Structure 1
């Protein structure tokens, strides 16, 4: 197997999640994140227009595993949006270790806890399903349930996708990898196909564990994802 594929397999089969003691602790982590929105980086141009709230709902790749405060992907995306003059706050609701089943259980609770209905949700889960070799049918069902809940509430979605390593076999990979493009099409969601694209396999962009992006890697991901978020916000009604 090529080096990049080995590294991808190692990421998906090791520390993508930091272990939680139980579901209650995960809820506490999420609540703390919601109570303390991302700090507001200084913008290169004055922010203007309507105030927007983006909820980043995912696992360790959103939570900022191994990074200092202010270096997570939601922080980086918020900085880029405000640097473009968009008055956006990105709330980090990433919980390290969450599977799609965990996300499904806490999504409604998280949304209900927010003071303001988010204008847009970034949804990024699935890596830990591969870690546990969850049946892709279950992963699909969980992702579908979350997208249905967001649709019911009238909240547009940007999906940041996940891919399975080839060592799990072609059947698993084909069924798993098809989930995100299929759901993006059926739920009219914007899709970034693989959140670690261009980062995984590059040691200069990864933490020493080789499985999570460092601050530079996060910046690389944000450079790709932030324009999708910005475009999504621009299409919303102005009032």
Structure 2
């Protein structure tokens, strides 16, 4: 009986020892991962088809290219792309609180408004939706980069100027960073767009990523 008891104690001690070693190795691995800059902080992108890589492979879009650059230069950060093709500012305003809760971002990029303009939605409505998104992000302590868009002149001078002014007004009112026009590097180059003349081709995406990068990098420091 005593021998059985001693054998049982020896077996239990051996198993516990193995568990301790396994836990120690696991914790060491986690520590090494953190030391190497594992993804611990989040950039959340709330955009439309321009950020959702419409007509392209996901890894070809400017958001994915930016995420890859971030992994190299700011390894403690990751990107969550919550962009949806066809999204309006109303859709973004309805979704943002859920995305903030799920992802707990330190930085939020808001690239919405283009579909509002193409549909001729009221400028006041677009501005209110942008303000709701910016306010929600700031309420959870996130820094915001507002990425603007411009409309073609056929919509009329009053509308196109008011549309562009919306982004400036929201950024100034809420004191957040602004990139006035996402497509600025390629806007005048027809070859940079898909046949719909709206969505950039894969070859143009690095230019968009490079355009966004300085404003974004300033928020990662």
Name the TM-score class by shorter chain.
0.7 to 0.9
What is the CA distance between 1:201 and its match in structure 2?
Answer: 3.2
Return 5+ residue gaps in structure 1 as ranges.
1-45, 235-239
Contact in 1 for aligned 2:182/2:211 (Cα 8 Å): no
Q: How many residues align?
A: 187
Query: Which whole-Å deviations, capped at 9, do the CAs of 1:122-172 have from their partners, x for residues lacking one?
Result: 000001001110010110111111111111111110011011221111111
For residue 189 of structure 1, what is the aligned residue in structure 2?
Answer: 176
2:66 to 33, 58, 77: 77
| 2:44 is the counterpart of 1:55 | yes
| 2:101 is the counterpart of 1:112 | yes
Distance 1:69 1:47 in 2: 26
More helix by share: 2
Secondary structure in structure 2 of the residue aligned to 1:94? coil
For residue 167 of structure 1, what is the aligned residue in structure 2?
Answer: 154
For residue 92 of structure 1, what is the aligned residue in structure 2?
Answer: 81
RMSD: 1.8
What is the CA distance between 1:48 and its match in structure 2?
Answer: 4.0
What is the CA distance between 1:82 and its match in structure 2?
Answer: 2.2
CA 1:197–1:148: 2 relative to 1, 3 Å: same
- TM-score, structure 2 as length reference: 0.79
1:124 to 105, 111, 118: 111
What is the CA distance between 1:50 and its match in structure 2?
Answer: 7.6
What is the CA distance between 1:101 and its match in structure 2?
Answer: 0.7
Contact in 2 for aligned 1:47/1:85 (Cα 8 Å): no
Contact in 1 for aligned 2:38/2:77 (Cα 8 Å): no
Distance 2:195 2:119 in 1: 23
Give the number of the structure whose alpha-carbon radius of gyration is greater. Answer: 2
What is the CA distance between 1:209 and its match in structure 2?
Answer: 2.5
Secondary structure in structure 2 of the residue aligned to 1:60? coil
CA 1:208–1:174: 2 relative to 1, 3 Å: closer
Distance 1:142 1:92 in 2: 19
What is the CA distance between 1:47 and its match in structure 2?
Answer: 6.2
What is the CA distance between 1:179 and its match in structure 2?
Answer: 0.7
For residue 57 of structure 2, what is the aligned residue in structure 1?
Answer: 68
Return 5+ residue gaps in structure 2 as ranges.
1-34
Distance 1:105 1:139 in 2: 13
For residue 233 of structure 1, what is the aligned residue in structure 2?
Answer: 220
| 2:131 is the counterpart of 1:133 | no
